[in-house]
Amino acid sequence: MSAAHSDGERVLALLQRHGWNATSFQILEAGFRYWFDGDDACVAYVETRGAWVAAGAPVCAAARLGEVSARFIAAARAAGRRAAFFAAESRLVDAAALRAMQIGEQPVWDATRWATTIGATRRLRTQLNRAVNKGVHVRAVAAAELATPAGATSPARAKSPANATTLTPLGRAVSALIDRWQHAKPMAPMGFLVDVQPFHFGAERRYFVAEREGVLVGFLAAVPIYGRAGWLLEDFLRDPRAPNGTSELIIDAAMRALGEEGSRYVTLGLAPLAGPLRGTLRAARALSAALYDFEGLRAFKAKLQPHAWEPIYLAHPPRSSSHVALVDALAAFARGSFVRFGGATLLRGPALVVRALAAALVPWTVLLTSASARWFPWPWVKTAWIAFDLVLVVTLFALTMRWRHWLGAALATAISVDVALTTAQVAFYDAPRAHGDPIDWVVMMISIAGPLLASVVLWGAVGHRRSTPDLVESRLETSS
């Protein structure tokens, strides 16, 4: 038995006894390390350069939460690392006397009351009927219908030796849906609690698929919250070609099935940056809207009429900084490297980046109009560059309002030509005439680097958006 398999089975046994946090089952997925405290407690965490970031609360008896948390913090400190608990719930914050910053809310339903909720909500019934009338059918599927054990890891989604699987045709269709969704998002795929690994410990999960004319158009995986006899609707995807109401229909099927089993606690997980927040997080919600629609996510969950909203926290030791803990948590989601994650996101050309390029071009164009004639071989060259930049500003902003593939490709081509012409002008005209002032060289480098960056971003966006449009609702969009 491999070490990974042994640890996984050990953690699963602890979860079945003590798993209370909504995110507790997710710690079985690949990418987590485990710190064990004796035979009856563990903390799952990821290690960044400066911290151990735990996924939720320690898995232990409620009476030991404070003790185990303190020992984990001490172990992290002994290893030269800070400690933080992401997606902590009130029970941990109270028991361990930690500092806590609310980072969002999670909606909760009593699944045994779901039919009553549907009966009282006309808007939901309308959406369900739309999908049914378009021929969408939802069914529960067993884990064996998606993946079967094998001697070697499948290239699709089985990432750890403890869960080596061979995907069935339906499992491959699900995997393809996940890949298209990840490729289509404006941000690079993240790790930690938002990595999509739906086939790990499949026998413990509940699966639902939505099909139309035999074609997969939606998928939902629910994972157990053993300590509350509840479920987290963890991975949830809908094909962009699916009829309206498909999302609601697959959630309806899951809620009814779990309600029939008597589950009185079901959650769709964290709605990030929802609820009462500190000023810094409110500002982050506004500034990041072009990359992620936090308000839209909360609205989607709210329209399903949850029976309660629970606060979710980032918890950390007393006398430590909330802002440092937040950066540590973000590093965990960025798989330990902001530079690598930012570069991968940049190459996808999200609207926020394209808009920033357009905004930066405005002061550059103003500077160009006041530039000395010595920078240009002939007066008409200066006029042509100014006119070109003005057209670029308008077109880039138009592109961020509504993406058109042909326009993106045309802009990328035009800016690539700009890079070539600017480089030639700098090399053969400006550089030989540069004065000894270092500012001259800085200006020349900016004149090349600016359009070069814009060209890389736009070509990345063209390639990225050539694929299937965004699929809606997955881990970050319906759970933590």
Residue that the structure tokens 């699929």 belong to: 471
Distant-in-sequence, close-in-space partners of 51: CB < 8 Å, separation ≥ 6: 76, 81, 82, 83, 84, 325, 328, 331, 332
**Is the pLDDT at 465 greater than 70, yes or no?**
no
More confident residue, 118 or 368: 118
**Is the pLDDT at 152 greater than 50, yes or no?**
no
Q: Biggest alpha carbon distance in the chain?
A: 81
Tell me if the pTM is above 0.85. no
In 10 A of CB 8, how many CB atoms? Answer: 23
pLDDT computed for residue 324 by the predictor: 93
**Domains located in the chain, CATH noted:** 106-274+293-306 (3.40.630.30), 351-465 (no CATH)
Tokens representing 240 are: 């962009």
Grade residue 288 by pLDDT with cuts at 50, 70 and 90. low
**Is the pLDDT at 476 greater than 70, yes or no?**
no
Over the stretch 210-246, which tens digit does the pLDDT of each residue have?
999 999 999 999 999 999 999 999 988 888 889 999 9
Q: What is the DSSP string of 47-71?
A: E-SSEEEEESS-BS-GGGHHHHHHH
Over the stretch 423-462, which tens digit does the pLDDT of each residue have?
999 999 988 888 777 888 888 898 898 888 888 878 877 7
pLDDT computed for residue 459 by the predictor: 81
**Is the pLDDT at 183 greater than 80, yes or no?**
no
**Is the pLDDT at 473 greater than 50, yes or no?**
no
Grade residue 289 by pLDDT with cuts at 50, 70 and 90. low
Pairing of strands 230-238, 271-272: unpaired
For 418, phi and psi rounded to 5 degrees?
-55, -45
Pairing of strands 51-55, 82-88: parallel
